[in-house]
Chains A and B, each alone.
Chain A
Amino acid sequence: MTRVSLKIVGAQGQGVNSVGEMCAKGLKRSGYCVFGYREYMSLIKGGHSSYQLDVSGEDVRSSAMHVDIVVTFNHHGIEKNLRDLRKGGILLHQTPQWKFKNADDQAFIKEQGIRVIELPTDAILKKLKAKSILGNVLITAVVWSLLGQPEEQLHELVREQFGHKKDLLDLNFACIAEGFAACKVIAPGTTLSLPRPDPKWKNHMLLTGSQAMGLGIIHAGCRVYAGYPMTPSSPLLTFIADMQNETGMAVKQAEDEITAAQMMVGAMHMGTRAVTATSGGGFDLMTETLSLTGITETPAVFILAQRPGPGTALPTWTAQGDLLLAVGAGHGEFARLVMAVSDAQDCFDLMPEAFNFAEEFQIPVIVLTDKQTAEALFTQPAFDQTRAKLKRGSLVTDPRELSQLKSIDRYDPAAPDGVSKRWLPGSEAATFCAQGDEHGPDGSVIEDAENARRQMEKRLKKMAALKAALPEPLYVGPKNPETLIVSWGSNRGIILDVLESEPLAKRSIGYLHYQYLWPLKTESFEMLSRTAKRTIFVECNHGGQLSSLLKLASGRDVTQKILKFDGRPFFYEELRDGLLSAPQS
């Protein structure tokens, strides 16, 4: 796969995101697959941020470490991001009379053949009597010209945004014209050629994992959302809230995460579908509620958007350090499902599954995502609306069946697979108590030993049935690979990209990807790993948490791991080289 990588950098609030989004949209419409990756700091104004776009005519699901062009809004980016450029790369800046003082920088530019281009943004905007915000359109136009893309495409984009304001639209058009003209002057003969486009991308969507997850939640029939802001779960809250007038969903920004979790549980108990989302620290606060749903057997869906910990750590960066937290959170022993999304497709497809499993097994479901999936920009075909089915398990709503229910049916320890009948407040039937204390079949508090043993067994029996109902992890590769890669979550995209690269594409490598993480299916893993010469876990955490879980579940101890825990996702060259240099046995 041939890719071109663009990186837009600057202070937060300078327009990094809007230029990134405009370029992404334009390129997608020109027939390119785009993968967007954002880096920013935990502050509102001033911190150094970036928006990287990796562009290809083929599928691209990852970010390169080195880029073809750095576009910088301020002079910090000139020095900070110079070394992000690959050989022959372009540095487009807007700082008048900039001179590199550092000898190392000068040598780097010379050796690598970096082309440094200055755009006189202030002078052009002054001439046009345009506000500084229009610098975003101006610099996008220069990039467009360098990429050899047509002016009309930018016209279309700004028309969509400002079409209702003619004055502003004319000024935007003027900026585009100036940008194309300036490019000929400041960068004569300089071009950045894009790979061959493929028209199939034109009808794709460009959206973040959070937006896809929001659509998945809506698709699943969820009608109540309770949340508390915490990066990187906040963009989901924002999206769901912005959609509420369209969807009619009841959205509550709660006073804390405990409230958000309790409201979700209360709404689920009443019989609707509800969800809450948070990150590690907020999830810690929700864990007592998680445990409660274990004993009351209330369906519940928690979204845990991971970022690095412990403590506040790196609030706006990515990690996969909360897998063991999700598996072990909450006091006592109870049945649960832990699953993880990896991209926009998963975010949409797996949300109905999360609600279905929660209702079918009357258990809490924890859906793991991370900052990388939540905020990356994916090129995605329109979502299939026909695949998901509404599955509510043993929920009783039929009046005849309701009239025959007894209170003791609710927590009947003899129920098959431990899944007893569930019915809703307001149903004309015998009533019961959803009981947080150990209880008998009708929810009455009983402390005797025999009952405690039977109810514990009833609840935990679900794990076997749940495990049997889960699909095997996804596998791509040859039947008996020499090398088996095992991973989960957002690593999927980059692993697939890297495996298509030379010389890895020629090697016998298989990739086993886990969407469902607890209970763990181990059959495929054991079969593939037993015959493979080596098994390598790729994870964004310090301990290799999935490898620990698989060791626990399968008894197989696989020691090779490629781990990253600095808040950044794996980059293309980095993971490719890591796999190439992995020990051969």
Chain B
Amino acid sequence: MMKSDASAGPPSPLDSARSYGRAGSSMQDFASQNPCTWCDGCGDYGIWTAARSALVDLHIWPWQVLLCYDVGCHGNMSDKIGGYRFHGLHGRVLPLAAGAALANPTIPVIAFGGDGASFSEGVGHLVHAVRSNYRFTFVMHNNANYGLTTGQASALTWQDQKMNSSPNGIPETTLNSMDFIFSLQPTFVARGWSGDIAQMSKILQAAIRHRGFAYVDMLQACPTYNKFATHEWLMQHCYDAATEGHDPKNFEKARALAVDTQNRVATGILYQTEDVPAFHERLKPREGVTTTSVQEVKIVDTSRWLKAFE
């Protein structure tokens, strides 16, 4: 373990990218030979494109990033893109990414998951990922239903929508995901929508640069199963909050803006603070440490600790 003076600060996820001498990466570097298998008009195409474009714009090479996928339609991106990837279990992408980010904070980690996984199966992880403020980006593919299992209702499905397995609409109340997220004191909250690739790319770049946990709600069209928040609906309702002078430093205003989707849906970076250290920065034993735990694997002589047991 290498220690430097504390003022040097923890390593940044983008250090490796910056130190890389060659010209930047291109979209071609992130290309895959595998054909996409999403439905015509699926929002995943847009998010997929925005993710690659954000990485290229940040001059990150495929070997410099870890992309973690949950299970769902979005998870089928795992073999349609370049980069180191991990396609894990349903509902568990957040702790997987958290462990990876903790082990090596110099590699940008992006986790992708759906609203089904994030607000039902793995909702506990979401709570603790926000409060832990791990340094990674979470792209929440929000199509308000379980697409890959053929259109069941999620906790974010609107009321009175007939869904597979809910022929009468859902008996539960729809969860207000943004109110929930803001109640957890997040440090980065953004919202994009799958039709605006340029904006999504910009949001993702800011998220990847963010000091801690970046929550990105990506509203996405699901032409096959979501008949309520369609591409047209999203196009009509979404607007860029920055164009109306929204200040992402104002927590209360950001929360109100994010929660109120009755008439219009605000997009862009809704809230961000860099005043809160990320999880790994708050670990006392890691203060001033310039190596990552990946570099520290070696047989450790424990003699110095044995005396205490005599």
Instruction: Identify the A interface with B (CB < 8 A).
Output: 203-207, 211, 215, 218-221, 223-224, 226, 243-252, 254-256, 258-260, 262-274, 288-289, 292, 296, 352, 380, 382-383, 385, 388-390, 392, 424-437, 439, 442-445
Contact = CB atoms under 8 A, between A and B. Distances in A.
Interface of B: 1, 16, 32, 34, 61-66, 68, 71, 76, 78-79, 82-89, 92, 95-104, 106-107, 124-125, 127-128, 280, 283-286, 289, 292-294, 296-303, 305-306, 309-310
B100 A223 contact: no
Contacts of A259: 95, 98, 124-125, 128
Contacts of B82: 431
A288 B289 CA distance: 34
Residue of A219, A251, A434 contacting most chain B CB atoms (<10 Å): A434
Given A246-B305, A248-B286, A270-B66, A220 B99 contact: no
A392 B298 CA distance: 10
B305 A250 contact: no
Given A251-B285, A433-B78, 5 more contacts: A258-B95, A266-B99, A266-B100, A430-B63, A436-B88
Residue of B83, B96, B289 contacting most chain A CB atoms (<10 Å): B96
A292 B88 contact: yes
Contacts of B32: 444
A124 B184 CA distance: 56
Nearest to A221: B297
A431 B85 contact: yes
A252 B101 CA distance: 13
Contacts of A244: 283-285
Contact of B76 (A211, A432, A445): A445
A385 B124 contact: no
A443 B100 contact: no
B83 A431 contact: yes
A205 B104 contact: no
A1 to B, nearest CB: 23
Given A206-B309, A255-B127, A435-B87, A388 B299 contact: yes
A254 B303 contact: no
Contacts of A389: 299
Contacts of A267: 99-100, 102-103, 293
Given A244-B285, A435-B79, A270 B85 contact: no
A426 B63 contact: yes
Given A248-B285, A270-B107, A431 B296 contact: no
A260 B99 CA distance: 9
B107 to A, nearest CB: 5
Nearest to B30: A431
Nearest to B82: A431
Sorted nearest first, the 8 A-B pairs with minimum C-beta distance are A266-B99, A263-B99, A223-B293, A205-B309, A262-B95, A267-B103, A266-B100, A270-B103
A382 B88 contact: no
A249 B285 contact: yes
B205 to A, nearest CB: 20
A434 B87 contact: yes
A274 B305 contact: no
Residue of A215, A424, A436, A445 contacting most chain B CB atoms (<10 Å): A436
16 contacts: A206-B310, A221-B296, A221-B298, A248-B286, A259-B124, A260-B95, A269-B96, A270-B104, A274-B99, A426-B294, A434-B86, A434-B87, A435-B79, A436-B89, A443-B78, A445-B78
B103 A271 contact: yes
A445 B75 CA distance: 11
Contact of A385 (B61, B298, B301): B301
A220 B302 CA distance: 10
Contacts of B124: 255-256, 259
A348 to B, nearest CB: 8
